Amino acid sequence: MKPLAVGVLISGRGSNLQALIEACRDPATKAGIRLVLSNKADAQGLARAAAAGIETAVVDHRNFPDRARFDAEIDRRLREKGIELVCLAGFMRILTDEFVDRWRDRMINIHPSLLPAFRGLDTHARALAAGAKLAGCTVHYVRRELDTGPIILQEKVPVLPGDTAERLAARVLEAEHRAYPAALRLIAAGRVRVEGERIFIDGVETSASAAAASRPSG
């Protein structure tokens, strides 16, 4: 089977990108990253991609008069490379509804909370302030509304006594580095099917609670 052509959008250090790069080195993942694109020329993730021999591109949002034209250029670059799945990995720009719709069910994101809890920013500090006993991460398909969309999988991380936002963030990031490659493997192997807002893995419908119940391997 031909490897799934993946494009990764980043804005910063690219630690989740690195996890995806390492996963794609294994032929069993059945996916290959063809393009890493950033809106920032100094994003550390670009160097990670270059070191792995992956083509990179910079599309600076400041060079465009509006979001629509910025997104249109990103879309053009992705299509030019034959990208089949877009992975958002710390891409700090809100995409237009038109772009999201164009890549519906072909764009995934990882978020550092157990969605639908703690959407948006400052997830770890908010989880601690709320007295949450569990934190974690979620890999989901992207929809118009921020941090929503069908959940592919989640990984739970316990909140420990004396946790700070920084300590919790570090443990959740380790979970992200397991969960994102696991989700990519599932999709690339053709094991994930999306029907509206429902997810089926190996023909069995999953839910947020079911997805959170099992920790992904690998």
State residue 110's pLDDT score: 98
Nearest-angstrom CA–CA distance, 103 and 76: 12
One of 61, 111, 124, 140 is an active-site residue; which one? 111
Question: What span, in angstroms and rounded, lies between the C-alpha atoms of 147 and 117?
Answer: 10
Q: What local confidence, expressed as pLDDT, does residue 151 receive?
A: 97
User: H/E element holding 45?
Assistant: helix 44-51
Q: Is the CA virtual torsion 203, 189, 214, 107 positive or negative?
A: negative
In 3D space, the residue among 113, 115, 91, 114 whose CA is nearest the CA of residue 103 turns out to be 91
Measured in Å, how far apart are the chain's first and last C-alpha atoms? 21
**What is the pLDDT at residue 1?**
75
Helix or strand holding residue 31 (H, E): strand 31-38
- Strand 56-58 and strand 31-38: pairing? parallel
Closest CA to 8 of 72, 81, 97: 81
Look at residue 170 and give its three-state secondary structure.
helix
Q: What is the rounded CA–CA span in Å between residue 158 and residue 136? A: 8
Residue 119: what pLDDT? 97
Q: What's the pTM value of the predicted model, to 2 decimals?
A: 0.93
- The domains of the chain, with CATH numbers, are 1-103 (3.40.50.170), 110-218 (3.40.50.170)
According to the model, what pLDDT value does residue 207 have?
67
Q: What are phi and psi of 64, to 5 degrees?
A: -120, 145
Q: Contact 135/114 with Cβ under 8 angstroms?
A: yes
Clarify whether 111 is annotated catalytic: yes
Mean per-residue pLDDT pooled into runs of 10, the chain (218 residues): 95 98 97 98 98 98 97 98 98 97 98 97 97 98 96 97 97 98 98 96 76 39
